[in-house]
Chain A
């Protein structure tokens, strides 16, 4: 299958056998492509003893540690083919990942995102309230992960407003005017988890008359670690938001700038889902062998999208557990899983987490 054909596939329609054969073909082809075009990658594959003949499944393709994109400029395109460099949201003092995109990869990222998210929000665009400040998008040439997230999700918004001002204060008049303008319509809210909690929920809580967001759907992501310090669980986050403003349709997502586009959305049953365009494999901490379902391990992510940089198979610094495959009660095919959090000793990163650290 070509990447165009893959992206025509409904994202939660492939069962284990169909997905595995599609992923194996595509990811092997990406591996060959990056070996041919990225000398550093080729050297690493050589060092890892990679032999395409002995690879039976995409699970056998070596993975790069995600932190490598901080240390090395890894790209599989000539300099003149680069039109966007995305960076991870490292705090000051931490190195950031640099991800080189060409037109094709960037465009496929946006297509994949649309396909995946539409399965949860519907394909109609909605008025969009961004739980962040307008200044996040100021530097156009170099996006932080936060800016890229906002921009990527903007495609689901018709008309848009920012809920926070440039000093991260709740801009209540702007929020109220926006809700008044779109009264009776479904509203799309997007923001990073910690920002939603600290600058939106906590401020709403103080208000005598709270805006009614019962017609809203919130998509949030970027990390829970800072909320752990506030002792907020996923369930409580939802419950409290519902109590504060009626917001009941809430989806977390898991994703990273190194594999932009392939987000893992939380379904109605509270499970994160891998789409047909990417997959998760959990690995044993000691020998990196694949874990059984139900067993916690280090999360590896693979994605069909990266053509301009060798990031199609990455070992994250997160720990998670795969709950099952093809049989989530929500009806979506593919693996569903839970992220436990960051590995011990790993750097703090994640859009909302790093924001909190720098405060």
Chain B
């Protein structure tokens, strides 16, 4: 899997949603992406890329697109 596929797979598995729902997806945009789902998503992303996000980035990760931008800080290019 390349980085983009890993990134999508983390969303799909952590939130239990379909890949088609991902573009434009916002925090709280689907029932599964609530505050519990958010921490599950963070753990999934960290495991997928072997990184540890700062608390401020966890708070800022408010959409599917925003997450891509934030991961660049951790040298994950998507």
Which residues of chain A have a CB within 8 Å of any CB of chain B? 83-84, 103, 106-107, 110-111, 114, 118, 123, 125, 137, 140, 151, 154-156, 158-160
Contact = CB atoms under 8 A, between A and B. Distances in A.
B55 A155 contact: yes
Interface stretch (B4-12, B15-23, B28-36): B28-36
22 contacts: A83-B28, A83-B34, A107-B59, A110-B35, A111-B59, A114-B59, A118-B55, A123-B54, A123-B55, A125-B52, A125-B53, A125-B54, A140-B34, A140-B36, A151-B39, A154-B39, A155-B39, A155-B55, A155-B59, A156-B55, A159-B43, A160-B43
A268 B58 CA distance: 28
A160 B52 CA distance: 13
A125 B55 contact: yes
B2 interface: no
A270 to B, nearest CB: 26
B46 interface: yes
Contacts of B43: 159-160
Contacts of B28: 83, 103
A83 B54 CA distance: 25
Contacts, number: 36
B48 to A, nearest CB: 14
In the A-B complex, the 9 residue pairs with the closest CB atoms: A114-B55, A154-B39, A158-B52, A155-B55, A140-B36, A155-B58, A151-B35, A83-B28, A111-B59
Taking residues whose C-beta sits less than 8 angstroms from the other chain, chain B's interface range is 10 to 19
A137 B52 contact: no
A84 B34 CA distance: 9
A111 B28 CA distance: 17
Contacts of B56: 114
Interface in B41-70: 43, 46, 52-56, 58-59
Contacts of A118: 55
Contact of B36 (A106, A125, A137, A156): A137
Contacts of B55: 114, 118, 123, 125, 155-156
Given A103-B28, A110-B35, A114-B55, 20 more contacts: A83-B34, A84-B34, A84-B35, A106-B35, A107-B59, A114-B56, A125-B53, A125-B55, A137-B36, A140-B34, A140-B36, A151-B35, A151-B36, A154-B39, A155-B39, A155-B55, A155-B59, A156-B55, A158-B46, A158-B52
Contacts of A84: 34-35
Contacts of A110: 35, 59
A123 B54 CA distance: 8
Contacts of B46: 158
